[in-house]
Amino acid sequence: MRSRYSAYVLQLEHYLLDTWHASTRPQSLDLAQEEATRWLGLEIRHNQHTGPDSASVEFVARYKIAGRAFRLHEISRFIHEDRRWYYVDGVFAGKGSR
Percent of the chain with pLDDT over 90: 86
Residues 55-81 have pLDDT tens digits of: 999 999 999 999 999 999 999 999 999
Domain at 2-92: CATH architecture: Roll (3.10)
pTM given for the model: 0.88
Residue 84 confidence (pLDDT) above 60: yes
By C-alpha distance, which of 40, 78, 44, 79 is closest to 59? 44
Rounded to whole angstroms, what are the CA distances from 25 to 18, 36, 66, 79, 94? 9, 23, 28, 13, 25
Q: What is the pLDDT of residue 70?
A: 96
The pLDDT of residue 96 is above 70: no
**Which pLDDT belongs to residue 95?**
61
Question: With the C-alpha atoms ordered 22, 70, 11, 47, is the resulting torsion angle positive or negative?
Answer: negative
pLDDT, tens digit (0-9, with 9 covering 90-100), for 35-54: 789 999 999 999 999 999 99
Q: Which residue has the higher pLDDT, 33 or 73?
A: 73
Cα distances (angstroms) measured from residue 86 to each of 27, 77, 91, 97: 16, 9, 16, 23
Sign of CA dihedral 41, 23, 54, 77: positive
Residue 24 has pLDDT above 50, yes or no: yes
